[in-house]
Structure 1
Amino acid sequence: MNTSTSRRNFLKGAAATGAVLMVGVTPKGVLAAGHAGLASLTPFVKIDEAGTVTAVLKHFDMGQGASTGLATLIAEELGISLDEIEIEFAPHNPQVYNNLFFGPVQGTGGSTAIANSFMQYRQAGAAAREMIKAAAANAWGVAASELAIVDGVVTGAGQSAPMAEFVAAAADLAVPEDPSLTDPKDFRLIGNPTTHRKDNAPKITGQAQYAMDVHLDGQVVAVIKRPPKFGATVVSFDASAAEGMPGYKGAAALPTGGGVVVYADTTWQAFQAREELTVEWDFTNAETRSSDQIRDDMLAMVNSEPEFVARADEGTDAAMAGAAQVIEKEFYFPYLAHASMEVLNCTIRPDEDGGVTLFDGCQVPTLSAGALAQVLQMPMEKVRVETLWAGGSFGRRATSEVDYNVEAGLAFLLDGGQRPVKLMWSREDDTTGGYYRPAAAHKVRVGLDANGRIVAWQHQLATPSIFKGTFFAATQVVDGVDRSSVEGVPDTLYDIPKMTMGVSDFQSPITVAWLRSVGHNHTGYVMETMMDLAAEAAGVDPLEYRLSYLSGEGEERARMREAFQLAADTAGWGTPLPDGHARGIAGMFCFNTAVAQVAEVSKDEDGYVQIEKFSAGVDVGLAVNPDVVEAQVQGGIGFALGFIMRDGIGFDEGEVIQSNFHDYEPLRVWDIKDIEVAIVPSAAPPSGIAEPPVPPAGPALANAIAALGTRVTMLPMAENGVDFV
């Protein structure tokens, strides 16, 4: 292996026993079934001879509730209760378990789990139901149309028996090509607000196994001493002070130069030994700027000619020149850590056939298996992935470089590849040396006519690119523009007559990745703040002003209008408030979902701001699990408010200032008093819900605080003029 290979270039290269009836799809995408061990079939639903039903989940669950949603679809069609179905995560097999929106990739992300699996899992459940009914009909000498499955019991034609009695016979039957699906009017589970999560009990009792829980016989724990500045590399290291420490097994420099791996018997021993290492670093290509310099450099970029053009409506400059009034603002958003509750970790085990098994809360198994295959120089089919529960991700477990899996692979190789290696990060590792939501600077000029109507919109953006330099660039970078940088602006649903948008790529060795809602979590703040300022200048109610720019045709605009109206109605928009209280409104359409939110805040006599309530209106299509939808909206609002109010990754001469939750503080229970979520009734196919609640929360809060007299465009708020209770 070439030890001079740069880290980025290196990383760029980078059926249950006893089951009887299995129903899923073949590699050609058609429904199929068979007995246990049938190699041509990988199922979505399995039923063993005891009648135990298992939903095989092609999407992993990091807390967003995908396991409940997919199990609900099967249980609904099969005719059983949610309590009667077990769940397990699928093995890596992208031919069958691919995300239909990602191409030939098995992975979870982009709020796609339910949207792309909705029909697949319903059809699998329906096919299993029809096969069991057919087997029972054959046994009883009656027509299958006379039978039904209710709570796991086949009944009808004067007969009744547990469906387990017919599983073996059903496995020999042909799978119906087009099984009849349950009429939505007969849904028992789908859309039922009393249907609760499948993962509550195992998580409360500790039965749910997370990647962090894996402990294999003979394993060694690996931790990495990382550079104090991004872009620095190892020159040499001295581990002599760690020799003789309890559990210490050794240390080695990573071939990428990105750190020194330390081995020990336990995680604590590895952390302790790591502290004793002395490392000489090469800072030639390292980031050495401090936070103020980074911010100022980005703001300078938005006041210069942009590198690339994201939108260029003809006549925008002329329209701006003729505007009766121009509103101009600059915005800055700092780098953000994902700060998942479960720190990054994974385990690699050598297998008897010369391959390996990766134990991980694995978000994109295809990326992980492919990267490890390259690192370990073995065929991809030799890399097995066993997916476990994950304690959060927010995008961190799905970087294009699958960095922590690659680190584990390198640690495994350097250890000799003969025993399991468990890679562990600390909270401080993640906060100081992880992949961040890119910082971003915006400059916006909005021209209004004499009636307060928008006539021109000029928008400049500077931010590091997430996709450039990765294999995603082929589809995600168009004419030099990283679409994740600008999303939410050039494609806004607002009917803005003239718009130009330029974007420049901020260069830094600081590693970046998508964070929940990707570009929308900063573009949404800017768009909704500027819409509020325009409404204020026009002397028009902020809700009315927004709706007037969503009056055009199209399903997306209609859904956005309905979400805005529902949020406003839920919040009592326009009704009187106590003195010192104010409301703000914002909305965003992303991931094919419309979300609008109203924030109500108060300010006491000492100037401290309290968030009294958030009210949300959500159009997510058919809400498969309303309880999960509500939880995701509540969680998304809380997640967003934490970093909008007080969080940001800061730098002192290139070194990260924050280290843990004491100085990178999530939302606290006292920060917000109430969240009310209203779901738009819909029979449309379900869309995403994990990410869409995030973008509107910040601007809704900002617009409410502005109504009390303080307009914040530089984040976080707590460092820019807002004192929270």
Structure 2
Amino acid sequence: MPLAPDLSRRAILQGGGALAAGLLVAIELPWAAARADEPEPTGKRFNAFIHVAPDNTVTFTLPAVEMGQGAFTSQTQCLAEELDVALDKVMTVPAPPDQANYGSPALVVQATGGSTTTMAWSGPLRKAGATARAMLVAAAAARWQVDPASLTTENGVITHAPSGRTIAYGAVADAASRLTPPKDVPLKDPAHFRLIGKPVHRIDTPDKVTGKTVYGIDVMLPGMKFATLMASPVLGSKVGSVDQAQAMTVPGVRQVVVLDDLVAVVADNTWAAMQGLNALAIEWAPGSNAGLDQAQLWAGLEKAAQGPGVTAKKEGDAPAKLKDGTLFEQSYELPYLAHAPMEMTNCVVHVHDGGCEVWTGTQVPGFAQAGAAKALGIPPEKVTIHNHMIGGGFGRRLEVDGVVKATRIAAHVDGPLKVIWSREEDIRQQLYRPLYNEHLKARVENGRITALHHRVTGGSVMARWLPVAFTNGVDSDAVEGAVDVPYAIGNRLVEYIRHESAVPVAFWRGVGPNGSIFSVECFIDLIARKTGSDPLDFRRAHLEKNPRALGVLNLVAEKAGWGTPAPPSPHGARRGRGIALMNAFGSFLAAIADVAVNDTGDVRVTRLVIAADVGQVVNPDTLEAQIQGGATFGLSTVLFDKITFAGGKVEQGNFNDYRILRIDEMPVIEAHVVPSKENMGGIGEPGTVVTQPAVANAVYAATGVQLTRMPIDRALIAKGA
């Protein structure tokens, strides 16, 4: 089918009438042949981040990975601000595996996650831009024999006002690159910012809209074959036997690869590979987890929560204060969760000439390189990683199991191989957000909490992923929202109990604060309501020493109309309004949710208002989008999501039973930002964290039922208090 070279995705979608009639026509998009091409940095290199070409184009090597969170734009803003170039003159490329130059100052390793990108990289990138600018100015000053202080820069052009001379960066880039970089270059006064703090349109949007963006799943190479795979449905079981006969009769199927723990079918296209996999007769060897079920997992966690804990935080003497007086006590439990990004796990691997090339989207290019090298038994430097944008990560791409499995399969295949997981495989064979038990006990005197004991029990991701952050038996991530609460309490004891099961665990959007902040905020609502206090006023009474937390709480209360009746809703007769507060990831957020509950226990969130103080803001548009996106993720979680096991198998497999919020269930989400000059905080995950307790507390207000195991239980809600 001949296509115009400027064919847009909209044009393709508008031609979708044939789909409604049941006809699917495969077309080759005009840019498909070049989809694996990646721009190489051009021009003179000034530091690890900047190349300036003779045509004045700046190539920016982005240390953070773009996965929808806006790093591509916000970090380019920081660099371009200090370099004094226009955004449309900057070409951004992903960083290769290089811990020395691109290791995150916040995460120790080369990784994108934990809402740390802005906090970690804005400063270094501004410094890199300012340093390169100073070198370019020095080169121009030397050429003209003038004082560098007499020169100004704007949009990549250096000007000497007294003589009227101008010169583009590209013309002096060669000379500038030979200079010794100056130390301690001053950064711009925020009063003179052109880009930082401005609502800049995302610079990656045009290519996404026209389909030109190369995600990992888009990579096409000459002579490439396609594969899909299956591991045992029972956790940890191995391959017993495989009958390949029927699979090899499927048109397009070329090969079946049988490994000890998985089976893959290699074909001319993904559809043939999927059909071939369905035709295989596989017998799985029985494993030790065949009897594993969810009740057993909950029981094991609850038993572990009764055991000894390791102290993560100690202020005063909480145990002594909790021996008598007015005491409150409650446990909260949070389930395993899958990441379920729209772009399923995929990887292209070409093993050849004693080395290996990998095309994928990963949050940890260094880990991916090391994982592929280990699978092949070769040095890491023989593995080349071509990193791409990610179609949603949420922590899933902090793991490299997809790269490792693809590499192991590709080692048995001639030529490049694209391995794509099915949605079911992606949900059933990943690493999950840990199961958590959070037990809290508090003493209340004169309307204030004067002692709090918080025990966090769950599997440790840090112990495996970043052992340096697992010290003295404490997982620093798991207790983050418990150790640093915004409230002034006086006597606090936070303990951590590590409990591992057969289920592998990983980081998930919101990470540890998902559990700890959820439990703290629900527990505060429990105490407030049982003591006859207004939940907002009760929180305010504990925030006299925390003006930033009080600021977002007051703002959200004003914007949401706290104290006024929740508006009527056609979705249910019982209405409720809930509030929650958090500080984590260097940011402060408060949320108020309005819910409607019908007689069958169905919950609709009708409005969600969030106030945020994230310190200095790079891009207000991105900030608002991340608050809304995180909140949507949190809504799905508190209303629907859980991963459960029966007979050693994950019971969920697709969006029909692992529910993501649907468009008709989406509430109005309002985001309000507190102007601040504080240090930059993170925002990719806080919206997810603060939304969940706000919704749970709204359900409590509507029904009188506080749910202590998430997601919400419709049967309990239907019964009411």
Query: What TM-score does the superposition give when structure 2 sets the normalisation length?
Result: 0.88
**Aligned match for 1:410, one of 402, 408, 424:** 408
Residue by residue over 1:34-61, the C-alpha shift from the partner in whole angstroms, topping out at 9 and shown as x without a partner, is: xxxxxxxxx3111111111121101111
1:284 aligns with 2:278: no
Question: C-alpha separation between the residues in 2 aligned to 1:107 and 1:152?
Answer: 31
Which amino acid in the other structure matches residue 439 of structure 1?
L
The one of 527, 535, 548 aligned to 1:559: 548
- Secondary structure at 1:485's aligned position in 2? coil
Deviations 1:482-537 (A, max 9, x none): 33333322443333333445544444322211101211112211110001111223
Q: Which residue of 1 aligns with 2:275?
A: 272
Contact 1:231 1:287 in 2 (8 A): no
Q: Give the conservation status (yes or no) of the 8 Å contact 2:373–2:380.
A: yes
Alpha carbons of structure 1 residues 17 and 516: separation in structure 2 relative to 1, 3 Å:
closer
C-alpha distance in structure 2 between counterparts of 1:610 and 1:305, whole Å: 38
- Distance in 2 separating the partners of 1:606 and 1:297: 32
Say whether 1:369 aligns with 2:369.
yes
Using the TM superposition, give the Cα deviation of residue 318 of structure 1 relative to its aligned residue in structure 2, in angstroms.
4.0
Q: Secondary structure at the match of 1:359?
A: strand
User: In 2, are the aligned partners of 1:646 and 1:719 still within 8 Å (CA)?
Assistant: no
Matches of 1:216 and 1:549, distance apart in 2: 60
Written as runs of structure 1 = structure 2, the 5 A alignment for 1:107-186 is 107-155=111-159, 156-157=161-162, 158-186=164-192
Q: Is the 8 A contact 2:42 2:51 kept in 1?
A: yes
Work out whether residues 20 and 171 of structure 1, in 8 Å CA contact, stay in contact via their aligned partners in 2: no
8 Å contact from structure 1 (residues 287, 509) kept in 2: no
Q: CA deviation at 1:252?
A: 3.0
Is this contact kept in 1: 2:457–2:498, CA < 8 A? yes
Distance 1:121 1:501, change over 3 A: closer
CA distance in 2, matches of 1:99, 1:275: 42
> Aligned pair in 2 of structure 1 residues 286, 117: CA closer, same or farther (>3 Å)?
same
* Alignment partners' CA distance in 1, 2:510 and 2:317: 32
Asked if the contact 2:231/2:262 (under 8 Å) is kept, the reply is yes
SS in 2 for 1:517: coil
Aligned with 2:458 (options 463, 466, 489): 463
- Offset at 1:665? 1.6
Decide which moves more: 360-369 or 674-683. Answer: 674-683
The answer for the alignment partner of 1:682 in structure 2 is 676
- Aligned pairs for 1:435-584 within 5 A: 435-449=431-445, 451-468=446-463, 470=464, 472-473=466-467, 475-552=468-545, 557-578=546-567, 581-584=575-578
Shift of 1:201: 1.0
Change in CA separation of 1:287 and 1:192 when aligned onto 2, cut-off 3 Å: farther
Label 1:137 to 1:472 Cα distance change in 2 as closer, same or farther (>3 A).
closer
What does residue 691 of structure 1 align with?
685
Q: 2:261 aligns with which of 249, 253, 258?
A: 258
Aligned match of 2:358: 358
**Is the CA contact (8 Å cut-off) linking 2:343 and 2:390 kept in structure 1?**
yes
User: Counterpart of 1:484 in 2: which secondary structure?
Assistant: coil
Percent identity between the aligned chains?
35
Looking at structure 2, the residues matched to 225 and 607 of structure 1 have their Cα atoms a distance apart, in angstroms, of 37
Aligned AA (2:212): Q
Task: Provide the rounded CA distance (Å) in 2 between the counterparts of 1:18 and 1:650.
Answer: 47
Q: 2:415 aligns to what?
A: 419
Deviation at 1:239, TM superposition (A): 1.6
Distance 1:715-1:387 versus aligned 2 partners, 3 A rule = same
Deviation for aligned residue 1:312: 6.2
* CA positional deviation for 1:600: 2.2
| Aligned residue in 2 for 1:40 | none
- In 2, Cα distance between the equivalents of 1:296 and 1:279? 33
**Partner in structure 1 of residue 24 of structure 2:** none
Asked whether the 8 Å contact 1:340–1:394 carries over to 2, the reply is yes
Q: 2:158·2:168 contact (CA, 8 Å) conserved in 1?
A: yes
**2:707 aligned residue:** 712
Q: CA separation in 2, counterparts of 1:145 and 1:270?
A: 65
In structure 2, give the amino acid aligned to 1:573: W
- 1:295-374 correspondence to structure 2 within 5 Å: 295-302=298-305, 304-306=306-308, 308-310=310-312, 315-324=317-326, 326-350=327-351, 354-374=354-374
| Comparing 651-660 and 482-491, the one that deviates more | 482-491
1:587 aligns with 2:581: yes
**Separation in 2 of the partners of 1:537 and 1:116?**
42
Q: Which residue of 2 aligns with 1:50?
A: 55
Tell me how many residue pairs correspond in the alignment: 673
Superposed counterparts of 1:159-238, under 5 Å: 159-193=165-199, 195-238=200-243
CA distance in 2, matches of 1:597, 1:87: 35
d(CA) in 2 for partners of 1:90, 1:58: 5
Aligned-residue Cα RMSD (Å) equals 2.5
CA contact (8 A) 1:111 1:691 kept: yes
**Separation in 1 of the partners of 2:262 and 2:679?**
47
Q: Contact conserved, 1:229 with 1:288, CA < 8 A, in 2?
A: no
CA distance in 2, matches of 1:675, 1:239: 52
8 Å contact kept, 2:432–2:504: yes
**Given residue 49 of structure 1, which amino acid in structure 2 is its aligned partner?**
P
Give the Cα–Cα distance (whole angstroms) in 1 for the partners of residues 457 and 183 of structure 2. 52
Q: How does 1:367-406 map to 2 (within 5 A)?
A: 367-399=367-399, 402-406=400-404
| TM-score using structure 1 length | 0.87
Q: CA deviation at 1:18?
A: 7.7
Query: Which amino acid in 2 is paired with 1:166?
Result: V
Counterpart code for 2:80? A
Q: Deviations over 1:197-222 (max 9, x none)?
A: 11111111111100001121222223
The equivalent of 2:252 in structure 1 is 247
- 8 Å contact from structure 2 (residues 456, 516) kept in 1: no
Task: List per-residue Cα deviations over 1:535-561 (Å, max 9, x = no partner).
Answer: 223333322322332333xxxx44323
Preserved contact between residue 490 and residue 501 of structure 1 (Cα < 8 Å): yes
Per-residue deviation at 1:622? Answer: 1.0
Unaligned runs of 5+ in 1: 1-14, 25-42
2:658 is the counterpart of 1:664: yes
**Contact 2:350 2:358 (C-alpha < 8 Å) held by counterparts:** yes
Separation in 1, partners of 2:383, 2:602: 55
Deviation (angstroms), 1:111? 1.4
Helix, strand or coil: the match of 1:689? Answer: coil
Retained in 1: the 8 A contact 2:587–2:682? yes
For residues 461-487 of structure 1, give each alpha carbon's deviation from its aligned partner in whole angstroms, at most 9, with x where no partner exists.
Answer: 44233234x2633x2333333333333
SS in 2 for 1:437: coil
| Per-residue deviation, 1:628 | 0.8
Q: Which amino acid is the alignment partner of residue 525 of structure 1? A: F
Please list every run of 5 or more consecutive structure 2 residues that lacks an aligned counterpart in the other structure: 1-37, 569-573
SS at the partner of 2:46?
strand
Q: Distance in 2 between matches of 1:274 and 1:427?
A: 14
Deviates more, 1:241-250 or 1:523-532: 241-250
CA positional deviation for 1:291:
2.7
| Structure 1 residues 16 and 267: alpha-carbon distance in aligned structure 2, compared to 1, 3 A threshold | closer
Find the aligned partners of 1:512 and 1:109 in 2 and give their Cα distance: 16
Distance 1:442 1:130, change over 3 A: closer
CA contact (8 A) 2:455 2:494 kept: yes
Structure 1 counterpart SS, 2:658: coil
Question: Compared with structure 1, are the counterparts of its residues 496 and 382 closer, same or farther at alpha carbon in structure 2 (3 Å cutoff)?
Answer: same
Equivalent position SS for 1:695 = helix
Q: Which residue identity is paired with 1:270? A: A
Cα deviation, residue 175, structure 1: 2.8
Which residue of structure 2 aligns with residue 31 of structure 1?
Answer: none
Q: Which amino acid letter does the alignment assign opposite residue 607 of structure 2?
A: K
Alpha-carbon distance change, 455 to 167 in structure 1, aligned in 2, over 3 angstroms: closer
Counterpart amino acid of 1:263?
Answer: V
| Contact map agreement 1:564 1:617 (CA 8 A) in 2 | yes
Q: 1:621 and 1:437 mapped to 2: Cα distance?
A: 28
Q: Counterpart of 2:246 in 1: which secondary structure?
A: helix
| Equivalent residues of 2:229, 2:264 under 8 A apart | yes
